Structure 1
Amino acid sequence: MNIQEMLQGKKEWRAHVARVKALPQDYQIVYNEIQKYLFRVGPVELSIGIGLLSGIVDLFEEGASLGKGVLEVTGRDVAAFCDELIKGSKTYTDIYEDSVNQAMNKATKKVTDKMK
């Protein structure tokens, strides 16, 4: 990534943050929680994450313009809303689960080999 791309990325992120700050307070709170959730859980591909966050802001702007409360847009289970958005994408949770399973398989194989 060159300097121009970095500067463009920062400019786009600042514009994104400004859009979030223009949302009603309840939407901002839920957006921030969604952002935290997605940064912890996934998706792994950053480009998906940024596009996803912009899409959420689009959805929230539309909901707010229609006078809907944020939970009318997301539903009461915001984590389930997030999970549905990233369904089918490789997540950090998937990677962690894979590494745990691989470690368990190695450990089980070692024990089994020693028992022979």
Structure 2
Amino acid sequence: MTTLIEQIVGDLGDKRRWRQYKARVKALPASYRSAAEAVERYLAYFGAITKGDVPVDVMMAMLEDLANLFEQAAADSTPIRAVVGEAPVEFAETFFRKYSDGGWISRGEDQSISAIERGFYKEVEREIAKERARLVKAIERA
């Protein structure tokens, strides 16, 4: 049974997990932190917009694994390019697909969408392209 506070503000466990994840990323060395934040931003945008509502527990597991990956890389002094490879967008999308249960489909694949929805998804694709460019630049700077 949930408490009244949890009903009003949401699951407190998820909020704790989010704060712990953000603290872990903040503790990373600057270049690893900026790379992790760029991948996080892309995953959140790519996953939430194009793949539908990603369950919070799935998103948190994904982000916690991302933090583990960058923490281990920093501890081993592994270069960021060795972690994400030459194609950081492909890395992020592959990383996301690892957590996909097949239940999320790209809305652009549905043939029955209206003209308004098609316009919306074109705008989403433009925004995703911008995020891809931001991710690549962040990795290059890191």
Unaligned 5+ runs, structure 2: 115-142
For residues 3-22 of structure 1, the aligned pairs below 5 Å read: 3=6, 6-22=11-27
The 2-side partners of 1:24 and 1:58 are apart by 14
Unaligned 5+ segments in structure 1 are 105-116
Relative to structure 1, is the Cα distance of residues 91 and 38 closer, same or farther in structure 2, using a 3 angstrom cutoff?
farther
Instruction: Tell me the equivalent position of 2:61.
Output: 51
| Count of aligned positions | 102
Higher alpha-carbon Rg: 1
Structure 1 segments, 4+ long, off by >6 Å, are none
Residue pairs, 1:22-61, within 5 angstroms: 22-42=27-47, 44-61=54-71
What percent of counterpart residues are identical?
Answer: 26
TM-score by length of 2: 0.61
Q: Secondary structure at 2:11's aligned position in 1?
A: helix
Q: 1:32 to 1:91 in 2, by over 3 A?
A: farther
- Structure number with greater CO (CA < 8 Å, separation at least 6) is 2
TM-score, normalisation: structure 1: 0.73
Query: For residue 102 of structure 1, what is the aligned residue in structure 2?
Result: 112
Q: CA deviation at 1:91?
A: 8.2
Distance of aligned partners of 1:83 and 1:10 in 2 relative to their CA distance in 1, 3 Å threshold? same
| Counterpart amino acid of residue 98 in structure 1 | E
